[in-house]
Structure 1
Amino acid sequence: MSVVDLDRHIVVATLSVGLAPSALALADTDDRLYVADLNSSDLVVLSVRSLQTLGQVKVGAAPTGVAIGRRRTRLCL
Structure 2
Amino acid sequence: MSGEPRPPVGSYAVDTGTARVGVVVGHEGPYVRLRPLGQGREWDCVPDALRAATPAERLRAATAYANARSRGEVP
Q: Point out the structure with the larger helix share.
A: 2
Q: Which has the higher contact order (CA 8 A, sep 6+)?
A: 2
- TM value normalised by structure 2: 0.33
- TM value normalised by structure 1: 0.33
